[in-house]
Amino acid sequence: MSNLEPEQVNQAESAPSSPENAPESPEKKEESALYYTKWQQRMMKKGYVVTPKVKKPAKQNAIEWIATLVGALLLVLLLKAFVGSPVVVDGNSMYPTLHNGEIMIMSKLHYGTSYLFNQPIVLGGEPERFDVVVCRYPDRGSTNFVKRVVGLPGDTVQISGGYLYVNGVKYTEKFLSARMYSDYGPYIVPEGHYFLMGDNRNNSHDSRAEDVNAIPIENVLGKARCRIWPLDRGGSIY
């Protein structure tokens, strides 16, 4: 038997059994959705007014993280397609300018070609004579090659006595470590094409080969700007 009077019993039954079981007010719910960092808590103790952060639902956080990752990936792809990217040198056909395994930066800011769904997009600009470029050979798929431009569209290229002649002008090419053994040409570079050779002239598969010849502009991917590895050989590429 209860010692409470009937009126007291009714009041006890209508009242919450404990503060923990009491319904949470809208104000409390809103406050529970807020959180303060340790720095904010310290500022509040000093009397500053601090705006709290709102706790986001886990699903919203996940969506924001995914959106951030996708955005970062798209940015990387755009930079690679229209600005430039690192390229690893494979082989010694550009020795002594570039060594096997070195890493360089290819720039598309001067000129170059990007591929969208395997379709070339020529970005504009024109290579200059003796630029070092990254290119693709006809019928060699997506394999990249690093070579030096020696002949521009309309030029007549010839090798005689170990020296390069372009339009009858002899070039000493101080970046070479050895003179060429074999003569070549004369060869007239077609319009819209470039004649490329490796600096290791006696051990380079380049435009002198019948299965390569001059390279069309859409096969020139970009300009080799600088070497970033190894560090002791870092710097601009000439």
Q: How far is CA 74 from CA 37, 81, 105, 231, in A?
A: 32, 10, 20, 29
Q: Let me know if 147 is a catalytic residue.
A: yes
Report pLDDT for 70: 82
Read off the pTM: 0.72
> Which one from 2, 25, 32, 93 is the annotated catalytic residue?
93
pLDDT tens track for 209-226: 999 999 999 999 999 999
Taking CA atoms, 46 is separated from 50, 141, 198, in Å, by: 11, 67, 70
| Selected catalytic residue, list 108, 147, 207, 223 | 147
* Percent of residues, the chain, with pLDDT higher than 90: 56
Residue 79's pLDDT is 67
Tens digits of residue pLDDT in 144-192: 999 999 999 999 999 999 999 999 999 999 999 899 999 999 999 999 9
pLDDT tens profile 92-136: 999 999 999 999 999 999 899 988 777 888 888 999 999 999 999
pLDDT band at 23 (very low <50, low <70, confident <90, very high): low
Active site residue 93: yes
